Structure 1
Amino acid sequence: MAHEEALQAATDSEEECTFSSEEDDFDDDHLDFEECFDSAEDTISKECENDIDQMPPAKKAKTMSWKAETDVDRIPKTLRFLPAREPGPQLSPADAHSPMSLFKMFFTESAMSNLCHNTNAQAARAIATGHKYKWTDVSVDELYRYIGLIFYMAAVKMSSIADYWRQDSLFSLPFPTTVMSRDRYRTISWNVHISHPDADKKNDRKRGTAEHDRLFRIKPLMDTIRLACKSFYHPRQKLAVNERLVACRANTGMTRCTKVKPTKLGFKFFVLSDSSNGYTVDFSVYTGKNSFPADRGLSYDAVMSLLDRKVLGSGYHVYMDDFYTSPKLLTDLFAMKFGACGTYRDHRKDFPKPVANSLTKNSTRGSIRWIRDGPLVCVKWVDTQVVSVCSTIHAAYTGERVQKRVKAQDTWKTKSFPCPAPVSAYNKHMGSVDLSDQLLQYYAAQHKTMKWYRKVFLHFLDIAATNAFILHKELYGNMNHSQFMEELIAELCGVSEKTAPKQTSTDHVPVPGAELTSDVRRIATVGRRICVHCKAVRGKKQQTPWKCQACDVHLCLQLDRNCFQEWHKSL
């Protein structure tokens, strides 16, 4: 019941909150701040300060100059942290939550039932169009076993799918055969479908119009997982926004990202994660210029689409990289009671560009320059290169220092340098981006497919399994990632984790019961033992030189008495 209430609450808040605007990314209006602090001394009159506030941006930039670390900065107004719910898992540790039960919160029974229905419909359509393979309708239990095999293949790497079912190799694996046959796994992979194929046709006919939905083929499952991500966990104060690329060479009919990794094509996901543990709080898929309704520019709209104040609450601190950071975004977030911090690109509009007291290429390492404009402070710091960070959370410099290794006279030494507060915080809390990506990559369920929506389906599996592991760790903390995935795979495939998989029939072969002797007179008698089948079934003590290699029991193998075959029929 608590799960249903959480899901309904998240649904209601999603329906209420929307963003709309008509401005472009680099055509933002001049920033309007509640306060303005000029670079001059405090003796400047109120009238002069008001005049500076009313200056055009270009003229105002000329009146500003960079300050050094010796100048005292005013910390902006502290935003009170008021989360909509108690941060952490929205589940009781007293209840029993196995890895599979947590995974099923993201891939629910109803979602899997819908997935089975659409997969069966796709298979029927494929057979009707001439595909020749055997097909029986897939059930929910079988589809869970199929997902279990996908995770097994992510944990146990082989060069091809067929290798998991090979039995003539030194590296043969007995487990996949006990779950399903190779051909069954392949036919499910070919036909797994998130949306109904008939509905796909109707949507495809709208291509080129405003009614066409580019994410139609993944939307049913995507909406379910996004809702579950937000419902069963509430993030702590520090959040991070980042991009995630899912490589795919399939023909999608959509704009794909090639800028980050020119050698790969794929989908760009915008992801909001909890900085404390890497939990994926929310995500969106980039489909082109019209991905977001606000239309203020991709970087602005991507962040705003992930931050829902009704769902999250207020007082959160959001960290981002230079792709997203702009004065307009940070000040609008501050007005929504979200603090923000991120690296920025100097050439972007409305960032300060005065030359007075600016850093140069000859500036010493550790040099700091900053300019404050209302709640926004822009800081430059010389490390191995100049780093530019802006923030509505921190003061420019609070006396922090960092240890860096420097080379002096052909020897490396550790030296202490001053470090701006926004830089220290950014390095600390953007680490969740790497953590989140690492957790996903450890057991990534990605393999080759020519259908883009199946590639996204596999990424949804990664998100669900990783978030389920983080929930389990937060609740109990008694499993590492490897142990969690091992138990999840066992539960999904319907086997016991602690028992060895059933041995395949190819292991049950007759072998001599003892080493052969060179004395030809004793070959027929050496190693003869009582046949266990004759003793158990016939009540006779018949001796035989043969035994089963896998079972390690002696069995008759005669033309008129094949105990070897009879014994294995009962296994």
Structure 2
Amino acid sequence: MIAHISQHTNLYSAQELGDPIRTSSQEIERFLSMLLFMGVFNFPAIDDYWHHESRFSVIADTMPRRRFKLLRRFIHFNDNQQCDGSPDRFYKIRPLFDMLHQQCLLIPSTYQHSVDEVMVAYKGTRAGSLRQYIANKPEKWGFKLFCRASSSGIIHDLLLYQGASTFFNITLTEQEEALGLGAKLVTTLCKTIPLPRLSVVFCGNYFTSFDLIQNLHGNLGLRCIGTVRANRMGGATLKTDKELMKEGRGAFDYRSTEGVIAVKWVDNKCVNLLSNACGIAPVSSVKRWSKEANTKIAVPCPSLIPAYNQHMGGIDLSDMLVHLYKTPVKSRRWYFPLFGYILDLCISNAWLIYKRDCSLLNIKPQPLKRFRLAVAHTLAQVDKLPSKVGRPSSSSPPHMPS
């Protein structure tokens, strides 16, 4: 990936200036290390890291300001002249996503997977309709990605959303083409699961439908649990919300057919779920606050609810870790925020793998911030010779007594 960035940065600068800026893989590594440092030590402006009143030596000593800005200006990831007429609207950043995608698929996963959407913040207008709006997200404007993760937060697969041409490079069967967008996305992301017949996928109500659950099990052997909208439950006739609310908190109703169970459960409000991996029994209980009793009370709960809650949060966890220390990506180029997300996701995934290995070895892991700084220091020092230990050598031989 680093060699690819170096090559295309030189190519793009030659196309623009007539002469390449002659960067190298080693210099790109130092450039990436500076971006990683900037994600932890966030200054108001790029120039502040070099200004004499606020100079930050870890960054300022790595590379001169003018050279850093030149690299930032010309950094590139694909050949613009080879992409004319391409149906891929993300062609400027696609090679990096393809490389990241291949590496994520190599990470060993658990048997529990969750599928959800991620927003990469971008408020500019230069990306046109690639920029999406989602009202209930912290980052309301940006690029939409769909990811598959394990419950530990490790991202194993991802797909960039670009409207009608999202699946331009993916082969779909006639049965999959007939599915809705949400079901089509889940099916595509689940095709890369190594052992589908041993695995369960968890989805939100944007994706889940009766057709999706049947398609996943019939074609991939994959089981599924998901919250679902009332009009996608395959025609299951359950008690109305009003009837269940009268029965009180913890009341539930269910119907099953063709190996799929539809459940409606009352918490603060009614929740609908579909499942072919887990059912009602054993009915457990969850603690909920009661205004009347002024304390927490036990509320009956079907067994698929805690299973869903336990394994659905992987992508939210990854999103939280990525946002803790974000690479500064303010730029006129619309694809630069996606480059920053790739860098931050690499660190997040690497830290979660490292943390998992530490738990197996009974070693206390470094926190994410220290891990990110360690990676940054390594990238900054990777091509430097180690300093010599001891007294400096002299060019002339030592004076010997007569």
Question: Is the TM-score greater than 0.5?
Answer: yes
Tell whether 2:318 aligns with 1:442.
Answer: no
Residue 280 of structure 2 is aligned to residue 393 of structure 1: no
Match of 1:146 among 15, 31, 45: 31
What's the CA shift for 1:358?
7.6
CA contact (8 A) 2:238 2:264 kept: no
TM-score (norm 1): 0.61
Match of 2:160 among 285, 294, 312: 285
Partner of 2:394: none
Distance in 2 between residues matched to 1:333 and 1:386, nearest whole Å: 26
Q: Could you list the per-position Cα deviations for residues 53-104 of structure 1 after superposition, in whole angstroms to 9, with x for gaps in the alignment? A: xxxxxxxxxxxxxxxxxxxxxxxxxxxxxxxxxxxxxxxxxxxxxxxxxxxx
Alpha-carbon distance, 1:261 to partner: 5.5
* Number of the residue aligned with 1:265: 141
The aligned residue for residue 250 of structure 2 is: 366
Task: Quote the Cα distance in structure 2 between the aligned partners of 1:383 and 1:322.
Answer: 17
- Aligned equivalent of 2:101: 226
TM-score, length-scaled by structure 2: 0.85
Determine the structure 1 residue equivalent to 2:380. 493
The residue identity in structure 2 corresponding to 1:447 is V
Partner amino acid, structure 2, of 1:268: K
Distance in 2 between the 1:216 and 1:124 partners?
A: 20
Query: Alignment partner for residue 472 of structure 1, among 354, 359, 365?
Result: 354
Pick closer, same or farther for the CA change 1:475–1:191 going to 2, 3 Å: same
**8 Å CA contact 1:446, 1:458 repeated in 2:** yes
Contact 1:390–1:422 (CA<8 Å) still a contact in 2? Answer: no
Structure 1 residue 452, shift from structure 2 partner: 2.1
Whether contact under 8 Å (1:193, 1:454) holds in the other structure is no
Cα distance in structure 2, aligned partners of 1:176 and 1:158: 12
Q: Judge conservation of contact 2:200–2:223 (CA < 8 Å) in 1.
A: yes
Of the three residues 43, 63, 76, the one matched with 1:180 is 63
1:372 offset after TM fit, Å? 0.8
Q: Is 1:343 aligned with 2:227?
A: yes
Give the Cα separation in 2 of the matches to 1:356 and 1:285.
38
Contact in 1 for aligned 2:251/2:266 (Cα 8 Å) = yes
1:315 aligns with 2:191: no
What is the Cα deviation at residue 360 of structure 1?
4.3
Q: Which residue of 2 aligns with 1:212?
A: 87
Written as runs of structure 1 = structure 2, the 5 A alignment for 1:129-140 is: 136-140=21-25
Secondary structure of 1:394's partner?
coil
Provide the residue aligned with 1:247 in structure 2: 121
1:359–1:369 contact (8 Å) kept in structure 2: no
182-191 or 471-480: bigger deviation: 471-480
> 2-side partners of 1:298 and 1:446: how far apart?
32
Q: Which residue number in structure 1 is paired with residue 400 of structure 2?
A: none
Q: Is the CA contact 2:147–2:315 (under 8 Å) kept in the aligned structure 1?
A: no
Quote the residue 2:396 is aligned against: none
Quote the residue 2:110 is aligned against. Answer: 236
> What amino acid sits opposite 2:116 in the alignment?
N
Q: Structure 1 residues 227, 309: CA separation in 2 closer, same or farther (over 3 Å shift)?
A: closer
Tell me the CA shift for residue 395 of structure 1: 1.4
2:371 to 462, 484, 490: 484
Structure 1 residue 474 displacement after superposition: 2.4
The CA deviation string for residues 232-281 of structure 1, in whole angstroms up to 9 with x for no partner, is x1211111101000112242244432134588431110000011x11110
Q: Which residue of 2 aligns with 1:85?
A: none
Letter in 1 for 2:29: Y
- Which SS does the other structure have where 2:372 is aligned? helix
Q: Which amino acid aligns with 1:145?
A: R
Distance 1:173 1:117, change over 3 A: same
Q: What CA deviation, in whole Å up to 9, does each residue of 1:502-557 have, x standing for no partner? A: xxxxxxxxxxxxxxxxxxxxxxxxxxxxxxxxxxxxxxxxxxxxxxxxxxxxxxxx
Query: Is 1:155 matched with 2:40?
Result: yes
Unaligned runs of 5+ in 1: 1-110, 129-133, 500-571
CA RMSD of aligned residues (A): 2.4
Aligned CA distance change for structure 1 residues 310 and 267 (closer, same or farther; 3 Å): closer
* CA shift digits 1:366-409 (9 cap, x unpaired): 1111111121111111111111111111112412111111012x
Deviations 1:184-220 (A, max 9, x none): 11111111111013223xx2xx2xxxx5322222222
Tell me the secondary structure at the aligned position of residue 146 of structure 1.
Answer: helix
Letter in 1 for 2:63: M
1:118 matches 2:8: yes
Q: Which runs of 5+ in 2 are unaligned?
A: 360-364, 387-402
The 1:309–1:488 alpha-carbon spacing in structure 2 relative to 1, beyond 3 Å, is closer
Q: What is the CA–CA distance in structure 1 between the aligned matches of 2:65 and 2:195, rounded to whole Å?
A: 45
Counterpart position of 1:452: 334
Shift of 1:444: 2.1
1:82-139 CA-to-partner distances (Å, cap 9, x unmatched) read xxxxxxxxxxxxxxxxxxxxxxxxxxxxx222211111121222325xxxxx973111
Measure, in 2, the Cα distance between the counterparts of 1:310 and 1:388.
26
Cα distance change, pair 374–359 in 1 and its aligned pair in 2 (3 A):
farther
Report the alpha carbon displacement of residue 441 of structure 1 after superposing the two structures with TM.
Answer: 1.4
Q: Distance in 2 between matches of 1:428 and 1:418?
A: 17
Q: Partners of 1:453 and 1:185 in 2: how far apart?
A: 18
More helix by share: 2
Report the residue type matching 1:444 in the other structure.
K
C-alpha distance in 2 between matches for 1:351 and 1:145: 58
> Would you say how many aligned residue pairs link Structure 1 and Structure 2?
368
Larger relative contact order (C-alpha < 8 A, sep ≥ 6)? 1
Partner of residue 362, structure 2: none
Pick closer, same or farther for the CA change 1:324–1:310 going to 2, 3 Å: closer
Q: Please give the alpha-carbon distance, in whole angstroms, between the structure 1 residues aligned to 2:255 and 2:22.
A: 65
Residue in structure 1 matched with residue 392 of structure 2 by the alignment? none
Contact between 2:250 and 2:300, CA under 8 Å: does it hold in 1? Answer: yes
Q: Does 2:304 align with 1:430?
A: no
Q: Tell me which amino acid in the other structure corresponds to 2:377.
A: A
- 2: distance between equivalents of 1:358 and 1:351? 19
Residue identity (%): 25
- Given that 2:149 and 2:156 are in contact with CA atoms closer than 8 Å, whether structure 1 keeps it comes out as yes
1:375 is aligned to 2:259:
yes
The aligned counterpart of 2:397 is none
Letter in 1 for 2:213: L
Alignment of 1:127 onto 2:17: yes
Q: Secondary structure at the match of 2:246?
A: coil
SS of residue paired to 1:323: coil
Q: CA, structure 1 residues 155+423, in 2 after alignment: closer, same or farther (shift >3 Å)?
A: same
Tell me if structure 1 keeps the 8 A contact 2:241–2:270.
no
Which residue of 2 is the match for residue 529 of structure 1?
none
AA aligned opposite 2:110 = R
Greater Rg over alpha carbons, structure: 1
CA distance in 1, matches of 2:239, 2:275: 21
